[in-house]
Amino acid sequence: MKKLLITTALAMLISLPVLAEDKAPPKTETKDYVILKVGDDNVKKSEVDAVWKSIFPGGNPPEFDSFEEKIKDNVLRGIASEHIISKEAEKSDIKNTPEVKEKIAAAEKQIIIEAYLKVKTKELVSDDKLKAAYDARVKSSGEEVHARHILVKTEEEAKEIEKKLKKGAKFEDIAKEKSQDKSSGAEGGDLGWFTADKMVPEFSKAAFALEAGKISEPVKSDFGWHIIKVEERRKSTPPSFEQLKPELMQELGNKAVAEYVNGIMKNVKVTVVDANGKEKPLPPVQLPADGKK
């Protein structure tokens, strides 16, 4: 609700964070205080900061206080509007209508589920598991390669491209024209720097076996057939456990929750019924992939 009400006021501001961040003072811890008075309501600075952060989901927003007064006033105006509209809505009987009751019940259910799974994830993913995953990640990240690839559907296509490359065709040009991986293809097949654990095993094995400047034979993976060119190789310095911990928690947490859901669903009969009344078992939750390309 907060985000909805202030979206219009802030729409023109979303492109400004980089400029504001350059001028932002060092972050300091301050006591919470009343920043806005709306009738009989007092709005704390912490509430404003929470609304501000919600505008940048998953990001790292610049400090609210780093913006000029006009921008901050827009945010405060949006929050004040919410409080005023909320008071007006409470005077009506809108919350007792079937539609609103249904939405409140659905929102409450979702909040409870999210809170429960957050607690459950912490129970299922111990620090020992996180450290074991970190050790495995670090063990496979001693070297990085900077590589390009051309992805095609068939071995025949890959062999034809291999012949063209041996005759002097430019790798980048063929990648732009032929690669099924449109994202890297637009950049001449460039995949940037990566460690072995970031790619599927077949791809990594071929890429890390190549010397800088060399091109592979056709390599098959679940995605199709690759021609790989290694541009550079270098030793890598692995990130610290604390730096990787959020990413590892996400990966292990997703898998642990999926396994947990599969487990509890085994104890409940769940079937899918089509329009003709025919029933079939609901398939189990698919375990998350390991995130490799």
> In whole angstroms, how far apart are CA 232 and each of 31, 197, 229, 292?
51, 17, 9, 21
What totals of helices (H) and strands (E) does the chain contain, helices first?
A: 11, 8
CATH number for the segment(s) 142-235 = 3.10.50.40
Per-residue pLDDT at 291 exceeds 80: no
The answer to whether the Cα torsion of 174, 176, 178, 183 is positive or negative is positive
Spatial CA neighbour of 260 closest among 113, 133, 137, 111 = 113
Scanning 61-200, the segments in alpha helix (DSSP H) are 69-91, 98-124, 127-139, 155-166, 171-178, 182-185
| pLDDT at site 293 | 46
Round to whole Å and give the CA distance between 53 and 34.
18
- Residue 11 banded pLDDT, cuts 50, 70, 90: very low
Q: CB-based burial of residue 2 (10 Å sphere; 0-12 exposed, 13-18 middle, 19+ buried)?
A: middle
| pLDDT at site 287 | 64
pLDDT digits (tens, 9 = 90+) for 239-258: 899 999 999 999 999 999 98
Per-residue pLDDT at 3 exceeds 50: no
Q: What single DSSP character describes residue 232? A: E
Beta-carbon neighbour count of residue 149 at 10 Å?
26
Contact call for residues 150 and 179 (beta carbons, < 8 A): yes
pLDDT-wise least confident of 34-38, 143-147, 195-199: 195-199
Mean pLDDT of 177-193: 95
Q: CB neighbours of 232 closer than 8 A, spacing ≥ 6?
A: 145, 146, 212
Q: Which two tokens stand for residue 122?
A: 């912490």
pLDDT digits (tens, 9 = 90+) for 109-163: 999 999 999 999 999 999 999 999 998 878 766 789 999 999 999 999 999 999 9
Mean pLDDT of 75-82: 90
Q: What is the mean pLDDT of the chain?
A: 85
Greatest Cα pair distance in the chain: 80
% of the chain exceeding 70 in pLDDT: 85
| pLDDT at site 23 | 40
Residue listed under structure tokens 């329009």: 275
Per-residue pLDDT at 171 exceeds 80: yes
| pLDDT at site 262 | 87
Round to whole Å and give the CA distance between 246 and 11.
30
Mean pLDDT of 15-40: 60
User: What count of residues does the chain have?
Assistant: 293
Contact call for residues 70 and 10 (beta carbons, < 8 A): no
- Residue 66 banded pLDDT, cuts 50, 70, 90: confident
189-221 burial string, b = 16+ CB within 10 Å, else e?
Answer: bbbeebbbbbbbeebbebbbebeeeebbebbeb
Round to whole Å and give the CA distance between 127 and 26.
32
- Residue 105 banded pLDDT, cuts 50, 70, 90: very high
Comma-separated ranges of CATH 3.10.50.40 domains in the chain: 142-235
% of the chain exceeding 90 in pLDDT: 57
| pLDDT at site 265 | 87
pLDDT digits (tens, 9 = 90+) for 251-283: 999 999 989 988 888 888 888 998 999 999 888
- Residue 58 banded pLDDT, cuts 50, 70, 90: low
Per-residue pLDDT at 15 exceeds 60: no
On the CB side of 96, how many CA atoms lie within 13 Å of its CA? 4
| pLDDT at site 65 | 85
Residue listed under structure tokens 């400090």: 63
Q: Which two tokens stand for residue 161?
A: 């491209």
Better-predicted residue by pLDDT, 138 or 215: 215
pTM for this predicted structure:
0.53
Mean pLDDT of 172-182: 96
